[in-house]
Structure 1
Amino acid sequence: MEKIAVINLSRDPLARTGLVHTLWSGWGTEVVEEADPAQADMIVLLAGVVTDEEITWLERVGRHPGRVRPVVLVADHITEEQVGRAVGCGLRGFLFRQSATPLRVGEVVDAVRRGEPDFPDALVVSLLRQIRAIRHTILEPIDHASQKLTTREVEVLKLIADGCNTKEVSDKLGYSERTIKGIIRGVVHRLRLRNRTHAVAFALRAGFI
């Protein structure tokens, strides 16, 4: 059974209690004592507005001899620079607290346990921007002739990259939500991508948005 340390660095003393109950009850995990994260296979960190002190804590605790211990962070806000640092010391999943329902937290933890990072689209875009800034001169060129996006597809993915949900994209472009979902599915299927996040990542890396 996977051992998880749930660390509460937020100002809400009840936040950890609810999350511990969620992870114990439905996701086949064992929650270890908060004071002993070294015994855990994964860390779930609760925070408000992420500070540099918390990132430094992650850099110290997230690393494990011989490997980096995966971390899921639930917070109100994190800067682009902090995201880059946190990924370097184990961050593999992130949830904004306003969307951190028990089910969604469990889904993110379960995905990270399976080795599948889970981030909001906006953070994926932030990470990719950093990667492009550092590695743009050595990234392999993409064959745009065989992997083009239409103007409508670019418009949809750009709004998703800006943090819009399906309804907001629908309202801004004047299409139905069903049409927006169809456009996203079409891109994912045609380019053999995994999901909408992967589609946004592709569009950014290829220079479409």
Structure 2
Amino acid sequence: MPTDMLSEERTASRTTLALAVHATDSITARGVEQYFRAFEDIEVQEPGREMDAEVLLVIAGEVTDEVIDRMGWVAQRSRVGGMRIVLVASDIDDWKLVRAFDHGLVCFMMRSTATLAEVRDTVLASRAGRTELPGSIIRSLIDRMQSAQQGVFAPCGPDSAPDAFSPREIDVLRLLADGWDTVEVACRLNYSERTIKSVITHMMSRLGLRNRSHAIAHAIRSGVL
């Protein structure tokens, strides 16, 4: 079973969510940590214990290579498995977004419009497996894929071919890319939630994908979204 699904089962019984905060400036980091410490259902990890977090919240202006590298460094050392990353930033280019997916990104929020309350809701929703990406971000990636002839966004290898995904998997991925959770996807496709989770689990296991956002990125690079 993929790490993403195992992590959901492990964290379902926890009463508090272990959260680590990384911001590109210390004032923002302290303010956000103080905000989240006021909630009993969230346990903010102390500096140096980021690897014990279920969710890593990253707040930045410009998403630089250093920001992406920090995500990867924490994710690679995660002690919980399947760490989810929520990124709040001014913008992000396509290449860095794909790299962030590979490190465990599940949600991206625009810093100019996101409130702390909305960030908290997104952090909690990410624990349940919800993927949230602005439509403009998805559209940009799709447009890049459709116009690219070669390079990083071009399909590569047998598992990147469009026929690596079944029609039902593509339907599920399209709805996940729109931000729907598994319950909502099941309702829209007229399946049970168990069936949707089974589709996702089988797809991630077959293609070696780490989480749902990684699956979305893989599908975009394969040209099926």
Instruction: Specify the TM-score bucket, using the shorter chain as the normaliser.
Output: 0.5 to 0.7
- The equivalent position to 1:67 in structure 2, one of 56, 81, 85, is 81
Q: 1:57-136 maps to which residues of 2 (within 5 A)?
A: 57-63=70-76, 64=78, 67-128=81-142, 130=145, 133-134=154-155, 135-136=160-161
- The answer as to whether partners of 1:27 and 1:110 remain within 8 angstroms in 2 is no
| 1:23 positional shift | 2.2
Cα deviations by residue, 1:125-168 (Å, 9 ceiling, x for unpaired)? 3455559842354255759xxx9xxxxxxxxxxxxx9xxxxxxx
Aligned-residue RMSD, C-alpha: 3.6
Q: Where does residue 48 of structure 1 map in the other structure?
A: 61
| 1:121 positional shift | 1.3
| 1:76 positional shift | 1.3
Partners in 2 of 1:20 and 1:66 — Cα distance? 20
List alignment gaps of at least 5 residues for structure 2: 1-15, 146-151, 172-177, 179-184, 191-215
User: Relative contact order (alpha carbons < 8 A, sep ≥ 6): 1 or 2 greater?
Assistant: 2
Q: How many residues align?
A: 155
Go from structure 1 to structure 2 and tell me whether the alpha carbon gap of 1:137 and 1:3 turns closer, same or farther (over 3 Å shift): closer
**Aligned pair 1:28/2:41, yes or no?**
yes
Determine helix, strand or coil for the equivalent of 2:136.
helix
Q: Over alpha carbons, which structure has the higher Rg?
A: 1
Go from structure 1 to structure 2 and tell me whether the alpha carbon gap of 1:127 and 1:68 turns closer, same or farther (over 3 Å shift): farther
Q: Where does residue 173 of structure 1 map in the other structure?
A: none
| 1:17 positional shift | 3.0
Determine helix, strand or coil for the equivalent of 1:94.
strand
| 1:9 positional shift | 1.5
List alignment gaps of at least 5 residues for structure 1: 148-160, 162-187
TM-score normalised per structure 1: 0.60
Q: Where does residue 15 of structure 1 map in the other structure?
A: 28
Identity %: 26
TM-score normalised per structure 2: 0.56
Q: Where does residue 138 of structure 1 map in the other structure?
A: 163
Partners in 2 of 1:41 and 1:108 — Cα distance? 13
Q: Where does residue 6 of structure 1 map in the other structure?
A: 21
- The answer as to whether partners of 2:54 and 2:80 remain within 8 angstroms in 1 is no
> 4+ residue stretches of structure 1 with deviation over 6 A?
none
Cα deviations by residue, 1:56-113 (Å, 9 ceiling, x for unpaired)? 2211212325833111111112110000010111111111111120121011101101
| 1:30 positional shift | 0.6
